[in-house]
Structure 1
Amino acid sequence: MTRSALAPSLSVARSGDVRTAAGTCIPSAEVRTRQIARQAGLWRAFASERSQMQPGTLDTKALDACAFSVHHRASSFAVPSKLVGTSRHQPLLRSLTRRPDGLWLALDLDARGDHLVAFHRGRVLGRVQPKHLGWVRPLVPFGLALYLSRVTGRGEGRYRLGCNVVFGHVGAALARLAGASGGDGAPPASGAPDHLRLVVPGETHPSPDPLPVQILPEREALTGDADDIVLWRTLEGEAHASVPHVARHSPTGIEWGYLGSGPADLALSVLSALTDGESASSLYQRFKAEVIARVPEAGGVLRAPEVRAWVARAQEKTDASDRGQAA
């Protein structure tokens, strides 16, 4: 059925409610929620073709972003995220914590080499996470915008501030992109601006080695050991773990899914909870590289016995290496 055939059957009240020809009134909040849910599905399909995120991660991200968009009454599907590379820009972040209008502050985006850099009044705040570049870049010319969600952390002493952001108007940008490309995702016709040149092609990666510690879905926390490590995110995307944060590299909090200060602190926190302090301090960087960096964005469950078994194997390798050097 065409759009023109559907149009006469619906009327929109001033309040935003939709009334069908049969007299049924659909509240505006429900209309908006349905619209955002449809846009979430479109975003999930779009991002799956343009990023290296795993299908399960994309599913969770789409659902979380949908809930975030509805909760915050967004006019269009929005995706919460965080900036990386903020450690050099602490004075600006600190100044934003004192601004009463800092929430949802519009930020500028600029392409610098392979990066998208976020600015406020010409001053750098940080960079868009690499995993998002593939789907963000092609939508910028079609109205995608970046907003400050929250400055995280305490910013006292050696503690660093972080920056949560939101990619706004994603649903509307997808619609404009579809219109510019003929509605089927194909490149624009000859003579039209080729916005799709901004798409970052997916990198090819060698197949990773099998995970030394199995990462299970969060629901598996109900059936395991009381010492199992549960990793999850809030609607705003903030990372949490079921163990205390041992802050050594990232005072703003833990993270996972890449090599960095947040994942390093999570690795140290996990090993500190499940083994002795000496082993945790000597092995956490290896644990970060082999396990924490490969946790899906949505999180999951690390079985305590498997983590302890990994520690035992890692210690054996270290001891064998030490014996070989001494021989």
Structure 2
Amino acid sequence: MAHPAHTRSSPRASGGVRTTAGTHIPEADIRTRQIARQARSWRTFAGDHSRMQPDTLDTKAFNACAFSVHHRASSFAVPSKLVGTSRHQPLLRSLAEDPDATWLALDLDARGDHLVASHVGRVLGRVQPKHLGWVRPLVPFGLAVYLSRVTGRGERRAESGAFYRLGCNVAFGHVGDALARLANASHGGDGAPSVHSRSPLRLVVPGEPRVRTAPARVPVLPEAASLTGDAEDIVLWRTLEGEAHVSVPHVARHSPTGFEWGYGGSGPADLARSILLALLDEPTADALYQRFKQDVVTTVPEAGGVLRAADIRAWVEHARTC
């Protein structure tokens, strides 16, 4: 992405719309109003999905709105900073010295109860706990995270020779668009996630193209397909009382009461991890099960069905490269 400072001095001259009364509204004003509306939607959503106090949310919404307009973001974006960066100083130092690192797209991965941000497989830090409640639901709908700035001087202390500690500012991008997709899906529209949680989407300026990567599909087949499939295929079914059963052992981490599917939660999270553990090694399962839950487990019908082992492995290969 071109640094925002390289674009502010040359806005598109022909942008904007003309109202029925003949008044010309500049495109910059249209975008500002759009981001302001998205900021209001985010304020409501974050208020329902986090423990932040109302005053904190109001301040964050105003600051994020200003940040989005200032950087000409394509949709409402929320600046933040990572925590737990003290263990990842060498990578932060290398990024601080890289002139092309600003607005670098980072990967988001679930690690237990945390979301970690990483670059080429190396962790930079964790999403602040106060933001997890609103960030997690929006990742499947296009929210992504970008490196904004490495903070700190990165110089050695004269007295000890040790480096000053560096921090990491990030921006959650496409928040406004993700909220719109989530609202569309909630009202029965075609709002299924169109981008992956490791999407290469960038914080963009007006006119820049976006690259979208659709997740690999894992179709849910009828239960009868288990008669003609592979022995490793995953079969999901319910008893007459509605109790969920799966043809893999339950490896409990989030849900002591067992498996579930068809939505995002602790039972589906355990199902996703247990399926991947049955077919793959534990590090791969731990790295990908939250994404597998969002892409696959949430789509399984209430009655269950069959997931082909070959389709799951194809999904994993796709996920590893995105």
**What TM-score, normalized by structure 2, do the two folds share?**
0.53
Match of 2:181 in 1: 176
Distance of 2:67 and 2:114 partners within structure 1: 26
> 1:9-28 alignment to 2 at 5 Å?
15-28=14-27
Match of 1:108 in 2: 107
Q: Which amino acid aligns with 1:173?
A: A
Q: Which amino acid aligns with 2:175?
A: V
Match of 2:49 in 1: 50
The answer on whether the counterparts of 1:76 and 1:171 sit within 8 Å (CA) in structure 2 is: yes
Distance of 2:37 and 2:102 partners within structure 1: 27
Shift of 1:141: 0.3
Q: Which amino acid aligns with 1:174?
A: L
Distance of 2:92 and 2:76 partners within structure 1: 26
Match of 2:123 in 1: 124
CA distance 1:69–1:124, change in 2 (3 Å): same
- Where 2:66 maps in the other structure, the secondary structure is helix
- Where 1:15 maps in the other structure, the secondary structure is coil
Q: Is 1:160–2:159 an aligned residue pair?
A: no
Q: How many residues align?
A: 182
Q: Which amino acid aligns with 1:165?
A: V
Shift of 1:179: 0.7
Unaligned runs of 5+ in 1: 1-12, 199-327
The answer on whether the counterparts of 1:152 and 1:163 sit within 8 Å (CA) in structure 2 is: yes
CA distance 1:16–1:69, change in 2 (3 Å): same
- Where 1:49 maps in the other structure, the secondary structure is helix
Shift of 1:160: 0.6
- Where 1:84 maps in the other structure, the secondary structure is coil
CA distance 1:82–1:144, change in 2 (3 Å): same
Distance of 1:135 and 1:56 partners within structure 2: 17
Shift of 1:15: 3.4
The percentage of counterpart residues that share the same residue type is: 77
Distance of 1:133 and 1:29 partners within structure 2: 31
- Where 1:108 maps in the other structure, the secondary structure is strand
Deviations 1:258-314 (A, max 9, x none): xxxxxxxxxxxxxxxxxxxxxxxxxxxxxxxxxxxxxxxxxxxxxxxxxxxxxxxxx
The Cα RMSD (Å) is 2.6
**What TM-score, normalized by structure 1, do the two folds share?**
0.52
Distance of 1:79 and 1:20 partners within structure 2: 31
The answer on whether the counterparts of 1:138 and 1:195 sit within 8 Å (CA) in structure 2 is: no
Match of 1:287 in 2: none
Shift of 1:197: 4.2
Distance of 2:75 and 2:60 partners within structure 1: 16
Deviations 1:92-112 (A, max 9, x none): 000001111111111000011
CA distance 1:183–1:80, change in 2 (3 Å): farther
Match of 1:74 in 2: 73
Shift of 1:194: 5.7
CA distance 1:195–1:73, change in 2 (3 Å): farther
> 1:212-223 alignment to 2 at 5 Å?
none
- Where 1:104 maps in the other structure, the secondary structure is coil
Distance of 1:117 and 1:61 partners within structure 2: 21
> 1:84-99 alignment to 2 at 5 Å?
84-99=83-98
Unaligned runs of 5+ in 2: 1-11, 157-161, 194-219, 221-260, 267-322
Shift of 1:196: 5.4
CA distance 1:194–1:166, change in 2 (3 Å): farther
Distance of 1:183 and 1:22 partners within structure 2: 36
Q: Which amino acid aligns with 2:170?
A: V
Q: Is 1:30–2:29 an aligned residue pair?
A: yes
Q: Which amino acid aligns with 1:42?
A: S
Distance of 2:89 and 2:263 partners within structure 1: 34
- Where 1:154 maps in the other structure, the secondary structure is coil
CA distance 1:180–1:90, change in 2 (3 Å): same
> 1:1-327 alignment to 2 at 5 Å?
15-155=14-154, 156=156, 157-182=162-187, 197=265
- Where 2:82 maps in the other structure, the secondary structure is strand
